[in-house]
Structure 1
Amino acid sequence: MNQETRLQALSSFLKSKRAKISPEAAGFPSGTRRRTPGLRREEVAQLAGVSPTWYTWLEQGRDIKVSGSVLDCVAAALQMNEDERKYLYALAIGSGHIAPAMDEEHSEMTPSLKRILQELRFCPTIISDRRCQIVGWNAAASHVFMDFEQIPPEQRNMIRLLFTRKEFRRLAGNWEHFVGGYLAIFRAYYGQYVQDDWYERFIEEMKGSHPEFQYLWEQSQVSSAPDVLLEFRHAKVGKMLFHLTSFQVQGPSDLRCSVYTPAPESSTESKLRRLMEKQD
């Protein structure tokens, strides 16, 4: 990502965060003359203890001098979580990792990961790399989502599949909520590997091919490990509830394990067992 693109991404992120905070939540009166939702720039500047001009320049994506302490103040003013604060740093300072080239070595499924997938028999599980490229899955994931084996390896990008495959749209009770969880992870990677130009090319491709992507991308949160409850409407067994837990796999490969655990208060696991028994 070049400097101009990085600063444009910073500008969009700050505007989005500012728009999502109500004046009341920040200690300001709502007033009657607000033309746009959220806080005004001068209110953010006041909360952060910086000049309105400096914050305006920051939000406009100008190439200005910033420090960690001031960015911490801006992050606090905009009520950012830890992942969002790291994202702010990466975009404002360009402090993302210089990532190694993506090759088979950096996306290898180790024997221990393969064993984990097998053991999580009734928890649909997907292993993906830092570009959300699917590199492994278990039988439960194939039964609930789709048979990933039928998709060419180069097309197994989870973000792209969410927008191109009708199976996902039919499955998710709230498709935008489902997509939002993955975009939150993808945005965290985007900030972490801010110097990898692949992300910008991919985002531009998705914006050009899928109008919905741009809106959802601009609305997305930043989270390295979202924990959400998802409702699926499976064509064969009906309503299913899963808790999505996503975490990075420790080791030389920058892989992520996304586990869909059947909600304990539901009949999801018994439905999944029946589904797998019928199709095995």
Structure 2
Amino acid sequence: MNRQTRLQALSVFLKAQRAKISPEAAGIPPGTRRRTSGLRREEVAQLAGVSPTWYTWLEQGRDIKVSSSVLDCVASALKLTVDERKYLFSLALETSSNISGASLFQEGQPQISAALSRILRELRYCPTIISDRRCWIVGWNEAASHVFINFDDVDPEERNLIPLLFTRKEFRRLAVNWEHFASGFLAIFRSYYGQYVEDEWYDRFLDEMKERHPDFNRLWEQSKVSSAPEVTIEFRHSKAGKMLFELTSLQLHGSADLRCSIYTPVLGSSTESKLKQLLDA
């Protein structure tokens, strides 16, 4: 992303995080004349030990000098998670991942190894999807095709998790809480967005998504960041009915930045038996 876009993303992120923290949670008396439930800028500045003017300029996305030590204080004041801290530092200091420039902008779909393909097959009763750093789907198993959609029927040029969440009715119908489901993937996508700050593909992609899908823009503005969310998700499958899965998201080591999203049937539920029926039908 270019410098101005990066600073704007930083501004949106800081405002969203400040709005999430109540004065009580920060140990500040709520007072009586408060327009919003979140913290004021001067309160964040006080908690971080910086001047109100400096923090205001930072949140406004001005091009000012920042240091790691001061950002640490801001992150603590805003009670950021590890992933959120990484995102803050990436935007404020314009740091990128330790991937070399040559591989950072390498185009084309990564190929999964024979060993990884075998793992997909072995996870027979755990729907599993492998995606790259831009959320392009590069691999899946049979269980994933039965629970989600048959990815073989999706044009490879449209096989990106983020647009599919907003365009395919199968996904909207599947998740009982679709917004929670979609927000988890957007949190992962945002972690990539902050990690690969030099890659302008993300800005082009985000502009396109915001233009085409109003729901996307609203969920994106929530500024959630997570490199590996672990959540329990309830599905209402058109054939199997209620299904409960625990999502485990793993980053795979190697030259390609791949992610393995595994949906494990919740123990004690009837999900696995229902999945077996779907696969054997």
TM-score range (shorter-chain normalised) is: over 0.9
CA shift at 1:31, angstroms?
1.9
Matched residue, 2:92: 92
Listed one character per residue, the Cα deviations across residues 83-135 of structure 1 (whole Å, up to 9, x for unaligned) are 1111001100100134522334x611100110000000000000000000000
Mapped partners of 1:277, 1:103: distance in 2: 38
The Cα RMSD (Å) is 0.9
State whether residues 13 and 223 of structure 2, in contact with CA within 8 Å, keep that contact through their aligned partners in structure 1.
Answer: no
Matched residue, 1:35: 35
Mapped partners of 1:20, 1:100: distance in 2: 33
Matched residue, 1:117: 120
Letter in 2 for 1:27: G
Mapped partners of 1:89, 1:220: distance in 2: 15
TM-score computed with the length of structure 1 as normaliser: 0.97
Q: Secondary structure at the match of 2:263?
A: strand
Mapped partners of 1:37, 1:13: distance in 2: 17
Mapped partners of 2:46, 2:73: distance in 1: 10
- Bigger mean CA deviation after superposition, 153-162 or 211-220: 211-220
Mapped partners of 2:245, 2:263: distance in 1: 5
Matched residue, 1:216: 219
Matched residue, 1:243: 246
Matched residue, 1:268: 271
Matched residue, 1:193: 196
Listed one character per residue, the Cα deviations across residues 40-87 of structure 1 (whole Å, up to 9, x for unaligned) are 000000000000000000000000000000000000000001111110
State whether residues 180 and 220 of structure 1, in contact with CA within 8 Å, keep that contact through their aligned partners in structure 2.
Answer: no
The percentage of counterpart residues that share the same residue type is 69
State whether residues 125 and 141 of structure 1, in contact with CA within 8 Å, keep that contact through their aligned partners in structure 2.
Answer: yes
Mapped partners of 2:116, 2:30: distance in 1: 52
Mapped partners of 2:52, 2:112: distance in 1: 50
CA shift at 1:173, angstroms?
0.3
Matched residue, 1:12: 12
Listed one character per residue, the Cα deviations across residues 148-197 of structure 1 (whole Å, up to 9, x for unaligned) are 00011111000010000000000000000000110010000000001100
CA shift at 1:220, angstroms?
3.8
The 4+ residue runs of structure 1 with deviation greater than 3 A are: none
Number of equivalent positions: 277
Listed one character per residue, the Cα deviations across residues 228-261 of structure 1 (whole Å, up to 9, x for unaligned) are 0000000101000000000111111110000000
Matched residue, 1:134: 137
Matched residue, 1:24: 24
TM-score computed with the length of structure 2 as normaliser: 0.97
- Bigger mean CA deviation after superposition, 163-172 or 31-40: 31-40
Question: Does 1:256 pair with 2:259?
Answer: yes
CA shift at 1:32, angstroms?
2.1
Mapped partners of 2:52, 2:128: distance in 1: 47
Q: Secondary structure at the match of 1:28?
A: coil
State whether residues 244 and 269 of structure 2, in contact with CA within 8 Å, keep that contact through their aligned partners in structure 1.
Answer: yes
CA shift at 1:37, angstroms?
2.5
CA shift at 1:265, angstroms?
2.3
Q: Secondary structure at the match of 2:25?
A: helix
Q: Secondary structure at the match of 1:208?
A: helix
State whether residues 132 and 157 of structure 1, in contact with CA within 8 Å, keep that contact through their aligned partners in structure 2.
Answer: yes
Matched residue, 2:106: 102
